[in-house]
Amino acid sequence: MTVTTSPARMPPPATPVPALARVEGAAVAVAAAVLVVRAGYPWWWLLAVFLVFDLSMLGYAVGHRTGAIGYNLVHNLAVPLALLGVHVLLGQDGGLLLAVAGCWLFHVGTDRALGFGPRPLR
């Protein structure tokens, strides 16, 4: 008797991250770390907050498509860069927006440097 896996249970295809995107991710992570530390926040905030952004993967408990959408919405550069822009427009010295944006950019950059990219929606 042969057991087959239904297509709905098969693992999603891997989306490889090109080498240039990995280098770019590492550069974003380093720049974000410098930004956070130079703003006066302790370096360990980057590590303490790191896994918070991975809570977006809880959508996979609902289904693959929902999980991929949640992951892709949180693991992109648009929102943290927008927060950084709002911070600059407000003209704050430090501030929570800067800390959140910096930690978020560090997370996304580190993920890309490690080869984790956008998830396919299948």
**Per-residue pLDDT tens digits for 5-34:** 555 555 555 667 789 999 999 999 999 999
Task: For the chain, give every domain's residue range.
Answer: 16-113
CA distance 82 to 98: 11
**Per-residue pLDDT tens digits for 64-74:** 999 999 999 99
Name the burial class of residue 29, with classes exposed (0-12), middle (13-18) and buried (19+) by CB atoms within 10 angstroms of its CB.
buried
CA distance 100 to 28: 15
Reported pTM: 0.83
Name the burial class of residue 4, with classes exposed (0-12), middle (13-18) and buried (19+) by CB atoms within 10 angstroms of its CB.
exposed
